[in-house]
């Protein structure tokens, strides 16, 4: 298998979900060869949200272990965790600074990339620094990426473009994104149990 094919297969291993997040981004200016344009800003911003996310990650591991032996108990724990997350999100709303500068955006999200609605087209190859606030946890992620495509949409006058971005490798931020995607998928399966067995 060639390297490009391996990359495509690897990226397909990431689950994707449609989600609503708070999003902002800025274009990273080109720098002369061999120079960095800015300090590394990838990863999680330190906040109460990130601490809650760490606890959430540990709890998810425990719930997954319980699931093998006691699925009903694991489902109850998962629902309780979701309830706590919603309560925490409401209390964190006032703690987050600069949330007004984010757009509430419908996105297609995975551990390796994001597609989102945009007001302006962006050229493929454009480098972006993205800040994403996940809901309901209010965890803030900062991750860089490269625009893959910018397609015109006919169904929206205010957000006429659908922009696809591949994330740079950032294990910390990507792990958090994967946890978020898996959690959202689990919630959807809990709300629609027939989908699990294809009914």
Render pLDDT for 24-65 as a digit per residue (tens, 0 to 9).
999 988 765 545 444 444 444 445 666 676 777 778 778 878
What's the mean pLDDT when you consider all of the chain? Answer: 77
pLDDT score at 96: 52
pLDDT score at 75: 84
CB of 66 closer than 8 Å to CB of 77 = yes
Judge: domain 15-28+40-192, CATH 3.30.70.330.
Answer: no
Rounded Cα distance between 72 and 93, Å, is: 32
pLDDT score at 80: 83
Higher pLDDT pick, 162 / 86: 162
**How does residue 79 score in pLDDT terms, banded at 50, 70 and 90?**
confident
**How does residue 8 score in pLDDT terms, banded at 50, 70 and 90?**
very low
Task: Return the closest-CA partner of residue 95 out of 61, 140, 58, 127.
Answer: 140
Whether residue 11 has pLDDT greater than 50? no
Whether residue 7 has pLDDT greater than 60? no
Is the sign of the CA dihedral 2, 13, 179, 127 positive or negative?
positive
Render pLDDT for 80-136 as a digit per residue (tens, 0 to 9).
877 777 776 666 654 554 455 788 899 999 999 999 998 889 999 999 999 999 988
Percent of the chain with pLDDT over 90: 27
**How does residue 14 score in pLDDT terms, banded at 50, 70 and 90?**
low
């Amino acid at each position: 298998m060639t390297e490009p094919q391996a990359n495509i297969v690897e990226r397909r291993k990431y689950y994707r979900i449609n989600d609503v997040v708070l999003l902002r981004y800025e274009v990273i200016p080109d720098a002369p060869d061999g120079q960095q344009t800015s300090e590394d800003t990838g990863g999680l911003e330190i906040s109460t949200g990130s601490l809650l996310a760490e606890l959430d990650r540990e709890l998810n591991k425990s719930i997954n272990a319980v699931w093998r032996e006691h699925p009903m108990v694991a489902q109850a724990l998962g629902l309780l965790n979701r309830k706590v997350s919603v309560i925490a999100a409401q209390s964190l709303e006032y703690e987050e600074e600069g949330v007004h500068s984010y757009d509430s955006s419908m996105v297609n999200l995975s551990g390796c990339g994001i597609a989102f609605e945009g007001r302006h087209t962006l050229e493929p190859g454009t480098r972006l620094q993205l800040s994403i606030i996940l809901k309901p946890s209010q965890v803030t992620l900062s991750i860089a990426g490269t625009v893959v495509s910018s397609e015109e949409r006919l169904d929206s006058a205010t957000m006429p473009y659908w922009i696809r971005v591949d994330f740079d490798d950032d294990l910390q931020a990507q792990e958090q994104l994967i946890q978020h995607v898996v959690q959202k998928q689990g919630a959807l399966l809990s709300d629609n149990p027939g989908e699990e067995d294809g009914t």
